[in-house]
Chain A
Amino acid sequence: MQFFFEVLIGGLLSGVLYALVALGFVLIYKASGVFNFAQGAMVFFAALTFVGFLEVLPGWTGLEDGGRAVFWLAFVLSLTAMVVLAIATEKFVLRPLVNQPPITLFMATIGLTFLVEGIAQGIWGANVRGLDLGIADVPIEYMMENFNILISSFDVFAAAVAAVLVAALALFFQYTRIGRALRAVADDHQAALSIGIPLRHIWVIVWAVAGFVALVAGMIWGARNGVQFALTFTALKALPVLILGGFTSVPGAIVGGLIIGASEKLAEVYVGPFVGGGIESWFPYILALGFLLVRPEGLFGEKHIDRV
């Protein structure tokens, strides 16, 4: 039983990390109705920019290599880079496509993916880099000694960061003017424009916030496995989470992440050995498909009703 709980808790903590990536998708989908295929590329771009600045800033500024000042300066500069990316995306990709069908915008984000991946590697190179956030990825001693359950202190830290982000974003959407404007834009671009909501500003804001989420996700995943191209694959982990939780729900991303994380780990351990193992990559999709059959809008998604 102890092993079962170990797998379950580990899965739940991984699920929070999936949710963190899924959040980026949800934000943009809520505000613009666009499924942003480039979210994985944005995670890669953000993390690579951050470690890139960590490398070059001591030489440029004379600040202590590995010091706090360099860390925070790199964070601010990376965030600025994500805002610049958001502005450029709005100006060159979204603005010319206002009121176009969602599939057109989706295709545009596929193009954006290749562009962002290329720009990131073009500026910072293709080298694989390590990232140390100062949080040790070691088991929590108390849990090991008292329950013989292995829980990583880093995973708990990551889960806490994700929880704070989700809470902040939920409040932002629910209780601020910008949050309400974002929801209005998501419902209908033209109607939002007609009542004076500045569509361009809203899009820039939401893409910048998604860029911030991508930066945080990239830093956490980068610290876990290294900053490398594989960060773009984190988006694959978010897709079943979105299907399960609903594309428009911030809490849905979290609950979906927890369900996917726990179920894929349990399936790998208890079902995997009977089918040759390595089922983590496709099991969440099967689960999500099952959910789609029962509840097409996801657990927390808005029910779509059309007047006939």
Chain B
Amino acid sequence: MNLKKTVILGAAVAGLLGSSMAIAAEQFIGLPSYRVGPYAAGGSGIFGGWIDYMQMINERDGGINGVKLAWEECETEYNNARGVECYERLKEKGETGNSVFQPLSTGITYSVLDKVAKDKIPLVTMGYGRTDAADGRVFPYVFPLITTYWSQATTMIKYIAGKEGGTDKLKGKKIALLYHDSAYGKESHAVLEKMAERYGYELTKLAVAHPGNEQQSQWLQIRQLRPDWVILWGWGVMNPTALKSAAKTGFSREKMVGVWWSGAEEDTVPAGSAAKGFTAAGYNVAGADYPVIKDIEKFVYAKGHGNMEDKSRVGSVYYNRGVVHGLITVEAIRKAQEKYGKGKALTGEQVRWGFENLDMDDKRLGELGATGFLPPLKTSCMDHEGSGKVKYQQWDGNKWNVVTDWIDADKELVRGMIEESAAAYAKEKGITPRDCSKEM
């Protein structure tokens, strides 16, 4: 072989290699995370679990139909201005732009709500954000997936009713709502009031000023009121403070039910023995005995690629919540590939279709190694929530134990309120709701 032939052959091989490298598509996912600042404990757990799941998909499956997942974190510190900056910084990254924006902050969600439809990037808000965005006709790019605050509030009353022996036993009962004095904390008021009218319980609302590290006045009022149940709608330091104050005033933790942002190890461990017996809602459960977590340990941690500095947090509530974010995001991309082409990197608009057509039934959850880990989920143009189901877990002093099956929300009540609120939003913003019969 002379030199000329060698050069031509080399160039051809290089060209082939180059072209094969060029067609190895990557799906970019921008992560507006918070690992420093006031809510770093939650952020590091959730984003750690999410990244570990994506890493596992790359290591175990070689990506989604050969499309590797790529991601980049942008630190928001849970700050709205930084969140918007991260949104702008991430939106055009990757070969097809950012696939999805999930800020884990209601404030940032509201800040980018009007931008996402224009930029055609799905905004996924699992367990936070704007509840009426579950009406996909008005909010085509927003997905408050799995369950919303309103759904959760109805499951709390169902849970309490179950403990009391039925909804008919709620009449005359006293329920105190101890809530974070913010838009988040007030989110449940309308639903709990409507249910109070229906079932005849007496609702007393007690606001706790941010950050919630002083609750003496509220708990002295609770001591005087002597409620049958206390619903804890807290966040951050407010949660352990509430549990400790309950212990101090002698209120049984068995009679306290928390929101899912009150039900992580970060809320109970600082309260020590005062947290024992406390029950909280969750759209995911704690525990490392699920095949999906075992796979993360096998394909990620065993190779030294784990994201968590403290590996003991694998299987904690927040970590598993991050895995749920990963699971659903990957499933949406997989679903969208079925429509727009397997093995291709997709745009945000295409991934949005995937989120709107999720069908994660028990069988599919079983295939994903996540039976019981999160509830079955089926979304549509009409319904961007997809489930509404919640499980309850109880803290035994060392770990969370699941104490109920999935409890379904009062869909009739919640859906009516969602549609009413979404219609008002559409009118205010001049949005013409989509005709879902024309969507496929």
Contact = CB atoms under 8 A, between A and B. Distances in A.
A3 B224 contact: yes
B38 interface: yes
A272 B237 contact: no
Contacts of B37: 117, 229
A81 interface: no
Contact of B217 (A7, A129, A130, A226): A7
Contacts of A104: none
A228 B309 contact: no
B36 A137 contact: no
Contacts of A230: 38, 211, 213, 236-237
A150 B221 CA distance: 12
Interface stretch (B143-151, B247-255, B321-329, B365-373): B247-255
Interface residues of A, number: 46
Contact of A233 (B213, B244, B270, B272): B213
Given A3-B220, A3-B224, A138 B237 contact: no
B421 interface: no
Contact of B220 (A6, A121, A132): A6
Contacts of B195: none
A128 B270 contact: yes
A70 B236 CA distance: 29
A226 B220 contact: no
Contact of A130 (B218, B248, B269): B269
A276 interface: yes
Contact of A221 (B38, B213, B218, B250): B213
Contacts of A152: 248
B248 A139 contact: yes
Contacts of B221: 269
B241 A137 contact: no
Given A229-B40, A268-B217, A278 B181 contact: yes
A129 B267 CA distance: 10
A290 interface: no
A237 interface: yes
A128 B35 contact: no
6 contacts: A128-B41, A138-B247, A230-B213, A233-B213, A272-B217, A281-B181
Interface of A: 3, 6-7, 10-11, 14, 117-118, 121, 125-132, 137-139, 150, 152, 221, 224-230, 232-234, 237, 264-265, 268-269, 272, 276-282
Given A127-B41, A229-B39, A277-B207, 17 more contacts: A7-B217, A121-B36, A126-B36, A126-B44, A127-B313, A130-B269, A150-B249, A221-B213, A225-B241, A229-B38, A229-B40, A233-B213, A265-B216, A272-B217, A279-B209, A281-B181, A281-B209
